[in-house]
A and B are shown apart, each in its own frame.
Chain A
Amino acid sequence: MSKPARWTRGHHWVFLVLVLLLASRPRLGFCADQLQTIQARGELLWGADAEGGAPYVYPDPQKPEQMTGFECDLAAALAAKLGVKPRMVQNQWDQLLPALDRGNFDIILNGLEITADNQQHAAMSRPYYVYAQQIVTRKDFAGPTNLDGLKGKTVGVLASSAAQRLLQNAGGIEVKSYPGNVESFLDLKAGRIDIAMLDLPIALFYAKPDPALKFSGGPFAPGYYGIGVRKEDATLLAAINQALGQLIRDGALERIYRQHGLWDDRQAMLASYKPETVTQRKSISTLREWPKYLPLLLRGAVTTVTLSVLGMMLAVAAGLAVALARLYGPLPLRWMAQAYVEVVRGTPLLIQLFLIYYGLPQIGLRLNAFLAGVLGLGLNYAANEAENYRAGIQSIPKGQTEAALALGMSGPQVLRRVVLPQALRVVIPPVTNDFIAMFKDSSIVSVITMVELTKVYGELATSTYDYIGLGLMTAGIYFALSYPASLFANWLERSRSYDRR
């Protein structure tokens, strides 16, 4: 009972937020035994990420509405042993542990490694697969064949995977983390990176059949995949361990793996596994240790600011060009400008970023992540800015243009000397709003491997498990940066108001 006492000292508000969160979370069978709950429900809910999830669990190419993969088969076998049906719950891979804790599903069955780190947050079953690391390069690239050879190189990995931890612990290796299994291979083929390191099953499925890629050296650094269960669900864990033991002994597991081309000699280790005892570390309060975490977040914030400032500069310039083309250009140009605005506004920024980053290399245009991010944000917002300018220009009374023409000014002179200066003041408020919106929207570029503020938050939160403390710090940084921007905009608007006495 000493822990709550520690919390209340100077942390009333954090405690309050925590209580609210605990009170509101929809945990299934919080008090009852989870195994009974599952059997009463008749379904085993297993959490996994099917996006780029082959060969673990992924949409069947022949029947895309149905899932396939060796973990899919394993889940079915496991559920059958428990006397229920399996049901997969889709969840982003690097957020599986927090989602398990929230009660979104009963177990994690998705390549979760049995490591001390993971065991801090969940109880792990006995292993169901022995994986190893595989280095993959382009066919023509003479790359390193083992861990030592990776020193000083840039290596693409799956975010929060065993490979990422292995490389980070080895030191001296620049790690580029990707949100899914496929993206690192895409960047490898696009030539943005030379080396990727992934769990063997992923490499076997995606890289082995690809003529442009090759395995560099053999598999190394074996480890275990296990099933994650909430720590309090002891009877469920025991039932799962018993079921897995039966599947291993009666050869059902081997049959599944052979069917998927994943059986190898290492799997013999499954039968003789002895769990290691794990010492519990005490939970981390990042707020208490803010000098350690704040600089990491601030470094991400620098990227966020650079991205959004450059993106907005592009948007403001390109938007003006589009607006002028739409208002004054010759007919075909006018149509093109209008089409640009409608298409860009009518499609998600995420898709546009994927097209620019992963799509353009396929037609020979390779941009680095930063450039692709600036371009994506800038060109997307250019459509909004063009509409702002158009509204601003059209709000200037016709008499202004007539007076300037009567004085002998040419069309472009009228625009530059009379119409635009007045229109610019009209568009200051909406453009500032857009800038602040882009500042926050810029977090989306993490999908193309940019490590900006939100991404740093995500990475730190998954490793420290302190979503609240880091979240408050991160939100504080966003606010501290966007609030002055809106103050500046107010000032700018006021200093430009020539129509007040």
Chain B
Amino acid sequence: MIVVENLIKSYNATRVLHGVDHSQKRGEAVVLIGPSGCGKSTFLRCLNQLELADAGRITIGDVTITGGGAPRSAEERARQQRLRLRAGMVFQSFNLFPHLTVLRNITEAPTVVKKIPRQEAEAAARALLAKIGLEHKAGAYPAQLSGGQQQRVAIARALAMEPEVMLFDEPTSALDPELRDEVLRVMRQLAEEGMTMIVVTHEMQFARDMADTILFFEGGRVLESGSPEQIFTAPAHERTRDFLKRAIMR
């Protein structure tokens, strides 16, 4: 489903990804953990091309992008867009469109990008809103919602494009503790439904409960990976142990 080979990324002189490899099956939920600045988010953002890698190969479903840099031809641009359509992204800061209602936030991309008729897109959007328990907020503007509600809408917005993979970049970090659960509940439900996901998070309990695989990132590399059992009870590396001790103490 997802194969990443030798992904390399630098900002000016600083190398942030030192040749990351990763492969993931359909329906697998992967959680990335690790200290701040270790390259987790950059890795995630490379997957849907918000950051352009310098070298390496990314495959999601049937789309493969090799090498780095900005797309140079129309064909490369089309391939980049197809890769993006395979992956839905949820951001730490929600990034809902403030000038559009909740419903329009969800229907905008399907109607504009996929040319789905508005009525059809709205029916699908209402079904998604029902799923996240916000059907009564269809006409509201993002500023009228709580942070937890906004993030749930952002998840629905990404799902409306019917991606094969969902990427979550610290989806609960900007939320007050009492609002995190409603977002985590939606994510858990998605995992149970068999959605392929990659989640960057500091929520250790959540990682332990729902991840199929955990990757521990440090210094732009995957230091170790394994099942939650393995990582949480018997980490192979000293650094992993230190990190988990500090993360759980918090």
Contacts and interface: CB of A to CB of B under 8 A. Distances in A.
A406 to B, nearest CB: 4
Interface stretch (A139-147, A409-417, A486-494): A409-417
A153 interface: no
B161 A499 contact: no
Contacts of A363: none
A501 B144 contact: yes
B50 A408 contact: no
Given A422-B98, A498-B98, A498-B141, A406 B81 contact: no
B75 to A, nearest CB: 14
A498 B158 CA distance: 22
A262 to B, nearest CB: 71
Most buried by A among B85, B93, B109, B141: B109
A500 interface: yes
Interface residues of A, number: 22
B112 interface: yes
A30 B84 CA distance: 85
Given A406-B50, A499-B141, A421 B81 contact: no
A409 B143 contact: no
Contact of B158 (A400, A407, A410, A413): A407
B141 A403 contact: no
A136 to B, nearest CB: 61
Contact of A500 (B88, B143, B158, B161): B143
A405 interface: yes
A403 B50 CA distance: 9
Interface in B116-154: 141, 143-144, 154
A327 interface: no
Main SS at interface, chain A: helix
B13 interface: no
B112 A422 contact: no
Interface residues of B, number: 28
B48 interface: yes
Contact of B89 (A403, A417, A422, A499): A403
A53 B118 CA distance: 70
Contact of A421 (B50, B99, B114): B99
Contact of A406 (B89, B98, B112): B89
B99 A408 contact: no
Given A399-B95, A498-B99, A407 B143 contact: no
B157 interface: yes
B168 to A, nearest CB: 12
B232 interface: no
Contacts of A421: 99
Contact of B85 (A397, A408, A422, A501): A408
B165 to A, nearest CB: 12
B218 interface: no
A501 B114 CA distance: 32
B98 A403 contact: no
Contact of A408 (B98, B113, B144): B113
Interface string B95-115: 111110000000011001110
A425 interface: yes
B143 A501 contact: yes
A407 B91 contact: no
A413 B158 CA distance: 17
Contacts of A333: none
Contacts of B98: 422, 498-499
Contacts of A404: 97, 109
Interface of A: 397, 399-400, 402-410, 413, 417-418, 421-422, 425, 498-501
Interface of B: 48-50, 81, 84-85, 87-89, 91, 93, 95-99, 108-109, 112-114, 141, 143-144, 154, 157-158, 161
Given A408-B161, A498-B143, 15 more contacts: A403-B89, A405-B84, A406-B50, A406-B84, A406-B88, A406-B89, A407-B84, A408-B84, A408-B109, A409-B112, A409-B113, A413-B112, A422-B98, A501-B143, A501-B144
